[in-house]
Amino acid sequence: MSRLRAIPPGILLIRKIRGNDWSLKTYRYLILLVTFIAYAAYHASRKPSSIVKSVLDPHPVNESDDHSNSVVVPWPLGDLFIKSSDNVTNFGGIYDEGWAPFNGTYGTSKLGEIDVAFLAVYSLGMYVAGHLGDTLDLRLFLTTGMIGSGIFVVLFGMGYFWDVHRFWFFLGMQMAAGLFQATGWPSVVAVIGNWFGKRRRGLIMGIWNAHTSVGNISGSLLAASVLDYGWGWSFILPGLFIIVAGIMVFLFLAAYPEDVGFPYPSDSSPNARGRIPDETMWEEGTSNDEEDPVPRISSINRKGVGFVGACFIPGVIPFALCLFFSKLVAYTFLFWLPFYLSQTEIGGERMSVKSAGNLSTLFDVGGIVGGILAGYISDKLKARATTAASFMYAAIPSMLLYRSYGNISKTMNIILMIIAGLFVNGPYALITTAVSADLGTHSSLKGDSRALATVTAIIDGTGSIGAALGPLLTGFLSTKGWDAVFAMLMIGACIAGLLLSRLVCDELTERTASNSPHGGNIVEGVYLFHPLSE
């Protein structure tokens, strides 16, 4: 007899209190909320290093060192987070000298090495984590990753209180945190893919993917809010946040609908065109009271797909390579934008480290809009590749305008930063969510196969290698000038768009054929995302 995974203890407690079970619709809302908070916590725990860069290495890049008398305005959030005083720039002189070993001649390069160490381990760990996510209990796997990640983020911050100045200590903490962070993305995408069919997946995941930007924003604000008390607190607070979120995942995350009494939201044997059955039951959410028995289907019986087999799913490799360059661009902004803002005069003034951290969150505000917009457009056009490529091409002029005119005034910087965030994060969000879930449930897979976490790991793991390379190159290129950094970013965006050219052509061919009066018979697998039955 098939065995079910354990029902989360928090859900069991709620069932006992209520006397009956939730409806399917309520469970889906719960899954969206829990996974949203979970991955927001992951991203929040990654932000402190970008906030404290200018504290650890306070000397500006390619600027005169004589800037102690420059007037700094704590903007855009003003004294909501920063107390108005004449010495907000240097936090009362606490950080004038920086923090060894990052305040020396090669301090900026060492900060880049810290970033690449984190992201390199993260990207390599992703490939292993994806396969484990398809074979282990996703709830326990995700909980372990979150608590482990939080512990090492906290330990990095403890280096301040323990007065640690050894580079290997900070390098080791970042690498360990990166390994545990690799458990996150394959797991949460797999859970969402388990609970939701393909209809409106792009829009749903576009909205849900706002957790990335919400996490970046909350992480920036948490880290900046306690920076006056010592940069170690900027790591400890986000680290505790992800630990608490991990406990919440353990209590309330039902990773598979079968484990709480509902069938899988797609046909066990999809037809040749990869359609899924009518999702009326999933849209309306039938009740599942204790008096109404529901067939209990085991989530353990599905077998995982091997790494090599997942690579041969049509579209996995092109999207993985595209994400390599897309994340190179996105993560360079993630790790280096606050540093860039603190070292660049905007409207003739240089802002404080804390103000730069606050201002950088507006890039993620644009990212939220971009992710939702990309998901909605790709659903309407039924063309994921075309949408992603178009956004990447549009990111090129947006970054050029930001670099060229963002220093004119603070208002102009806000507008151009939001626009750049929209186009940079839009395709990144689309590929890592809807595209990964589509390919993980592709019709070339058998109905009893599980490849969601594996496919997500291949795509995002490859992308994370680019995410590691971007900040590393930035650490060196920034010493030559920020124009070189932005040139690298624009080249990366262009290559990302070009890598999807074949898939874009296939999508346009499919659309042309479907609009032809004679119809068209496109071979399954050429066009990845077939129109879904309404």
pLDDT tens digits for range 260-280: 888 766 543 333 333 333 344
Instruction: Determine phi and psi for 4, rounding to 5 degrees.
Output: -95, 150
What lies within 8 Å, CB to CB, of 5 at 6+ separation is 137, 139, 255, 256, 259, 299, 300
pLDDT at 524: 37
pLDDT beyond 50 at 195: yes
Tokens of 118: 């984190």
Q: Is the pLDDT of residue 335 over 50?
A: yes
Of 437 and 228, the structure prediction assigns the larger pLDDT to 228
Helix, strand, coil share of the chain (percent; to 5): 65, 0, 35
Structure tokens at 78: 């003003």
pLDDT of residue 77: 37
Backbone phi and psi for residue 33, each to the nearest 5 degrees, phi listed first: -65, -45
Q: Answer yes or no: is pLDDT of 349 > 60.
A: yes
Query: What angle do the packed helices 452-477 and 482-498 form, to 10 degrees?
Result: 150
Domains by residue range for the chain, with CATH: 14-64+99-263+305-514 (1.20.1250.20)
Q: Is residue 54 predicted with pLDDT exceeding 50?
A: yes
Provide the pLDDT for residue 534.
29
Judge contact between 263 and 195, C-beta under 8 A: no
Burial class (CB in 10 A: 0-12, 13-18, 19+), 242: buried
pLDDT attached to residue 531: 34
Nearest to 81 by CA among 363, 337, 418, 356: 356
Which pLDDT belongs to residue 251?
95
Judged against a pLDDT cut of 50, whether residue 78 lies above it is answered with no
Residue 524 per-residue DSSP state: B
Mean pLDDT across 78-107? 56
Q: How confident is the model at residue 242 (pLDDT cuts 50, 70, 90)?
A: very high
pLDDT attached to residue 198: 63
Contact yes or no for 187/198 (Cβ under 8 A): no
Work out the number of other CB atoms within 10 angstroms of the CB of residue 286.
13
φ, ψ for residue 448 (rounded to 5)? -95, 10
User: What is the percentage of the chain residues whose pLDDT exceeds 70?
Assistant: 77
Position 381 pLDDT exceeds 80: yes
Instruction: Look at residue 35 and tell me whether its pLDDT is greater than 90.
Output: yes
pLDDT of the residue at 403: 92
- DSSP 8-state symbol, 434: I
Which range among 144-153, 184-193, 308-317, 450-459 has the greatest average pLDDT? 144-153
Residue 336 in this model has a pLDDT that exceeds 90: no
| Whole-angstrom distance, CA of residue 279 vs CA of residue 283 | 6
Reported as a single tens digit per residue, the pLDDT across 101-126 is 888 777 777 887 888 788 789 888 88
Most confidently predicted of 42-51, 52-61, 276-285, 471-480: 42-51
User: Structure tokens of 500?
Assistant: 């999807």
| Maximum distance among all Cα pairs of the chain, rounded to whole angstroms | 76
For position 119, what pLDDT does the model report?
A: 78
More confident residue, 456 or 34: 34
Give the distance, in angstroms, between the CA of residue 384 and the centroid of all CA atoms in the same chain.
18
Give pTM, 2 decimals. 0.71
pLDDT of 532 strictly over 60: no
- % of the chain residues with pLDDT over 90: 33
Lowest mean pLDDT among 58-72, 126-140, 267-281: 267-281
**Residue 48, H or E segment:** helix 48-51
Average pLDDT, the chain: 78
Its sign, for the CA torsion 379, 385, 390, 391, is positive
Among 130-144, 184-198, 490-504, 519-533, the minimum mean pLDDT is found in 519-533
Q: Do the beta carbons of residue 65 and residue 229 sit within 8 Å? A: no
The mean pLDDT value for 173-186 works out to 93
- Tell me the per-residue pLDDT of 391-424, one tens digit each, with 9 for 90 and over: 999 999 999 999 999 889 889 999 999 999 999 9
Average pLDDT over residues 322-330: 92
